[in-house]
Amino acid sequence: MDTPGAFAIQLLKEKIAIPALSGEEAAAAGYLEAQLVKAGVAPFRIGHNVCACSPKNRDGQKLLMLNSHIDTVKPSAGYTFNPFEPFEKDGKLFGLGSNDAGASLAALVESFIFLCTVDLPFNLLLVLSCEEENSGPNGMKLVTQQIKNIDCAIVGEPTSMKVAVAERGLLVIDGTAHGVAGHAARDGGVNALYVAVDDIAVIRNYAFNHISPLMGAVKKTVTMINGGVQHNVVPAECRFVIDVRPNECYTNREILADLQAAVKSKLNARSLDNKCSFTPAGHPLWRCAEQLGFDACVSPTTSDWMRLDVPAIKMGPGASERSHSADEFVYLDEIRQGVKDYIRFITSLNNG
């Protein structure tokens, strides 16, 4: 391969210049599809998800999916430059989505194009998915409804090329404390704020019994609270939000039920689908990471992995802490190394 990473860097620059907010990926998907065609790959579309199979695929082999996402979050107000005008400075590439997950996407595309010339003991599928950031119905959910034979996956996300063998799930819970309105001067009514504060204390101190040796304890944080209409009215309602990061010992439904039993406020989950993901020790993906000396980790963030029911790992160039930040960037050397590491990893797999 001539100058690994050069194709990926140019691809990423051009992609950054095409806005691709979640649900608005049509133009970026069309661009990526065209670039694959130019590279001699025959892509196909599932909605705005861009997919391709290696011409080296053979009947009877297992299928490894290479996945990263097209879409980005909205740019934060803190940007000091136009987030859709990429530029290089001090060995960095700046622009919205450069780190999350444009670097992984571009590196995987370049790696896939190269691997289309290599005989592997498994088949390859490239999926550049949409609606990852907003958990939309037309992204990976739509892909897995139509492609049923995926055996395992590499999910491209910024992990500093560490191999995440597990990732925490996400459970967002809306709590509503109910009281009775009254006049503040008369100590009337039942103060919903106090009900909420008491329940928040219970939630803060609540200890789930099972601690995962892989992920640790269930993490829960109350992140928002809102109540009251004016200074002299005892509030009849107070709302709060709980951010829960589950481990694999509990389903999201079980966590919701346990917390509900401990508090007076009414708890409602926004979604129960954002599950934990982990790959059993000894799986070829994990074994390959160990043999090649890749550092293993547990990812605290979610990805399209949670929409898969097959073993997977998450790895990619860039750093997770840069994701969703203003003036987002990725180091050019991270992209170059990402291409090399993806190819080294995939060609070292004995069994997909």
Q: What is the mean pLDDT of residues 180-191?
A: 89
Q: Which CATH number goes with the domain that contains 193?
A: 3.30.70.360
Q: What is the mean pLDDT of residues 65-86?
A: 96
Q: Which CATH number goes with the domain that contains 143?
A: 3.40.630.10
Q: To which H or E segment does residue 258 belong?
A: helix 252-262
pLDDT digits (tens, 9 = 90+) for 125-170: 999 999 999 989 999 999 999 999 999 999 999 999 999 999 998 9
Please give the Cα distance from 313 to 105 (Å, whole number): 15
Please give the Cα distance from 99 to 326 (Å, whole number): 11
- Domain termination site, one of 252, 269, 286: 269
Three-state DSSP at 167 gives strand
Cα–Cα distances in angstroms (integers) from residue 142 to residues 29, 41, 147, 272, 275, in the given order: 15, 22, 9, 18, 17
With 0-12 / 13-18 / 19 or more C-beta atoms within 10 angstroms meaning exposed / middle / buried, residue 246 is buried
pLDDT classification of 1: cutoffs 50, 70, 90 = low
Other C-beta atoms closer than 10 Å to the C-beta of 145 total 10
206 domain residue, yes or no? yes
1 domain residue, yes or no? no
* pLDDT of 94 higher than 90: yes
Same domain for 51 and 131? yes
* pLDDT of 120 higher than 60: yes
pLDDT digits (tens, 9 = 90+) for 276-313: 999 988 999 999 999 999 999 999 888 999 999 999 99
**Domain enclosing residue 209, as ranges:** 171-269
Q: What is the mean pLDDT of residues 180-204?
A: 93
Nearest to 255 by CA among 173, 153, 148, 195: 173
Count how many domains the chain has: 2
